[in-house]
């Protein structure tokens, strides 16, 4: 919050779009702002009405450099926008830097996302230190459809105005905590020597030379990838990371999605009726990739690009003791690490047995 | 420039000016009025510490690569509420 918890003393607020950017059509700008207000009105009793003349509570404008409020913008990138906390005159007003390239997708700065953040300030929210929150001060692209206001922002705005009675999506995403006792994971892979540990909308980057894991939104690296991925593995020979979600899978080469993807998992040789893959791990020594789905696993020959004969097999038969399902899996130094809920099992490929049971969050030295 | 970095070879003068501007914009760093200097006070270091703590970086009060990298990312510049009031 701002000092003294500044807020509006009324629930019916007006806004006016004073001018437009040339990057988008007027209709696109109108839609972006309307949608951005809706983010906040859905979780509070606040109502926003657009007016086309006179002074509104929230005056919205595009400007460059010094634009009349003594808080100049700085040209392309850097500062994108700013907004004043609730109050008279400039209070609540939101200004957007027209030296930026604004877009309705991920090609420029997404106007809807920036506007939703700025209107948070207009309503009384300061910056959050939760990197998954809308009110985190650094711009991150979070996808173009189905935006869900993160829980941290909901807690903040409802502390000021209370909850509304029309929230169509009461499930607001929380930012995962790496040291959560009950932490479970979606997928794990290596990427050029780093570990990437996927959970919900995020992944943690764990570099051997970094002391702490960095939490990053999946969309900020790969805008086209879905959230909540099922499985991932690296094929270092091809310098590709493969990402699985539902029946589709993508091949990544650094920041780029390899041409021709996404593909369907049946193209790998799985039965057409198979819906998801729970975990995948590439075994460098054999050149085989193991896919885990339900209580079974498959072996894929990367060199010949065929599923091996004799599969699927029961997980329990080959890897006794790890349970009958796998959330995520990776291989390192002759061991396969299987994750199942809050536990991980360290399995020795050489001695074919579990050598250690650890907490899932021990990945992060918790 | 009052950037408290003893071994600042890695940053150019422009980098240091950029960092100071960033702290002035987002952390209300005030320029020292000419001729007046507080003893034992280094407001740049204090503001850097404030910023590093907010973003969960290692809090050193010294401009390092990680802090500088974060400063370069596109962000919101909510006007300072104290000044606004």
Decide if A113 touches B, using CB distance below 8 A: no
Average pLDDT, chain B: 79
- In the structure encoding, which two tokens stand for residue B56, read together? 């969960």
Quick check: A79 and B79 CB within 8 A?
no
Binned at pLDDT 50, 70 and 90, residue B32 comes out as low
pLDDT of residue B2: 46
Chain A residues whose beta carbon lies within 8 Å of the beta carbon of residue B56:
129, 131
Binned at pLDDT 50, 70 and 90, residue B1 comes out as very low
Q: Which of B79, B82, B83, B85 best probes binding to A when mutated, by most A CB atoms within 10 angstroms?
A: B79
pLDDT of residue A174: 92
List A28, A100, A118, A224, catalytic entry: A118
Closest chain A residue to B85 measured between Cα atoms?
A: A87
Single out the residue of A313, A308, A363 nearest to residue A339, CA to CA.
Answer: A363
By CB neighbour count within 10 A (0-12 exposed, 13-18 middle, 19+ buried), where does B54 fall?
A: middle
Alpha carbon of B55: minimum distance to chain A alpha carbons (Å): 6
Query: How many angstroms separate the Cα of A205 from the Cα of each of A101, A193, A200, A217, A363?
Result: 29, 10, 14, 11, 11
DSSP code per residue over chain B? -----TTGGGS-HHHHHHHHHHHHHHS-PPPPPTT---TT--HHHHHHHHHHHHTT----SS--HHHHHHHTS-EE-PPPHHHH-
Contact A236, A284 (CB under 8 A): yes
Is B36 a residue whose pLDDT tops 70?
no
Round the CA-based radius of gyration of chain B to a whole number and report it. 13
Quick check: B76 and A69 CB within 8 A?
no
Q: What is the mean pLDDT of residues B8-19?
A: 83
More reliable by pLDDT, A337 or B12:
A337
Alpha carbon of B11: minimum distance to chain A alpha carbons (Å): 18
- Model confidence pLDDT, tens digit, residues A191-235: 988 999 999 999 999 988 877 888 989 988 898 899 999 999 999
Quick check: B76 and A121 CB within 8 A?
yes
Is B30 a residue whose pLDDT tops 90?
no
Single out the residue of B52, B26, B55, B30 nearest to residue B42, CA to CA.
Answer: B30
Low-confidence residues in chain A, pLDDT < 50? none
Burial letters A98-115, b for 16+ CB under 10 A, else e:
bbbebbbebeebbbbbbb
Binned at pLDDT 50, 70 and 90, residue B40 comes out as very low
Contact A18, A53 (CB under 8 A): no
Quick check: A139 and B74 CB within 8 A?
yes
CA angle A209, A203, B72 (to 5 degrees): 70
Chain B residues whose beta carbon lies within 8 Å of the beta carbon of residue A84:
78-79, 84
Can you say how many angstroms the Cα of residue A356 is from the centroid of all Cα atoms in its chain? 32
Tokens 């877009």 — which residue?
A: A103
Q: Cα separation of B55 and B13, whole Å?
A: 24
Alpha carbon of B19: minimum distance to chain A alpha carbons (Å): 12
Active site residue A194: no
Residues 6+ apart with CB under 8 A from A316: A295, A324
Quick check: A121 and B56 CB within 8 A?
no
CB nearest B79 (choices: A82, A109, A137): A82
Residues 6+ apart with CB under 8 A from A194: A205, A206, A207, A208
Alpha carbon of B79: minimum distance to chain A alpha carbons (Å): 6
pLDDT of residue B5: 52
């Amino acid at each position: 919050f701002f000092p003294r918890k500044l807020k509006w003393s009324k629930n019916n607020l007006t806004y006016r779009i004073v001018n437009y950017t040339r990057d988008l059509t007027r209709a696109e700008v109108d839609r972006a702002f309307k949608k951005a207000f809706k983010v906040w009105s859905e979780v509070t009793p606040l109502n926003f009405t657009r007016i086309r003349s006179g002074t509104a509570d929230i005056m919205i404008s595009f400007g460059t450099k010094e634009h009349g409020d003594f808080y100049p913008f700085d040209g392309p990138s850097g500062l994108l926008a700013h907004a004043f906390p609730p109050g008279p005159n400039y209070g609540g007003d939101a200004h957007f830097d027209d030296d930026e390239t604004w877009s309705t997708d991920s090609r420029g700065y997404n106007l809807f996302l920036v506007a939703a953040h700025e209107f948070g300030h207009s309503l009384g929210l300061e910056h959050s230190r939760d990197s998954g929150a809308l009110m985190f001060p650094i711009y991150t692209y979070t996808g173009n459809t189905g935006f869900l206001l993160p829980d941290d922002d909901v807690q903040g705005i409802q502390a000021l105005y209370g909850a509304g009675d029309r929230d169509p999506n009461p499930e607001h995403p929380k930012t995962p905590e790496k040291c959560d006792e009950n932490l479970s994971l979606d997928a794990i892979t290596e990427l050029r020597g780093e570990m990437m540990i996927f959970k919900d909308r995020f992944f943690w980057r764990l570099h051997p030379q970094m002391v702490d894991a960095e939490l990053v939104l999946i969309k900020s690296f790969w805008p086209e990838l879905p959230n909540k991925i099922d499985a991932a593995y690296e094929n270092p020979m091809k310098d590709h990371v493969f990402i699985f979600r539902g029946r589709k899978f993508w091949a990544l080469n650094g920041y780029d999605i390899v041409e021709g993807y996404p593909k369907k998992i049946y193209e790998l040789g799985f039965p057409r009726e198979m819906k998801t893959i729970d975990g995948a791990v590439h075994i460098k020594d054999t050149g085989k990739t193991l896919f885990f789905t339900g209580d079974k696993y498959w072996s894929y020959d990367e060199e010949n690009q065929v599923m091996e004969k004799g599969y699927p097999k029961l997980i329990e038969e080959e890897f006794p003791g790890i349970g009958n399902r796998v959330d995520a899996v990776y291989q390192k130094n002759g061991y396969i690490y299987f994750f199942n809920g809050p536990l991980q099992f360290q399995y020795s490929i050489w001695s074919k047995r579990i050598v250690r049971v650890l907490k899932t969050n021990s990945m992060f030295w918790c | 420039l009052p950037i408290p970095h003893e071994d600042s070879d890695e940053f150019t003068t422009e980098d240091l000016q950029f960092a100071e501007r960033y702290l002035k914009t987002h952390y209300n760093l005030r320029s020292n009025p000419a001729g007046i200097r507080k003893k034992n006070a280094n407001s740049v270091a204090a503001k850097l510490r404030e910023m590093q703590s907010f973003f969960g970086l290692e809090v050193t009060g010294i401009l390092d690569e990680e802090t500088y990298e974060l400063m370069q990312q596109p962000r919101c510049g909510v006007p300072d509420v104290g000044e606004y009031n």
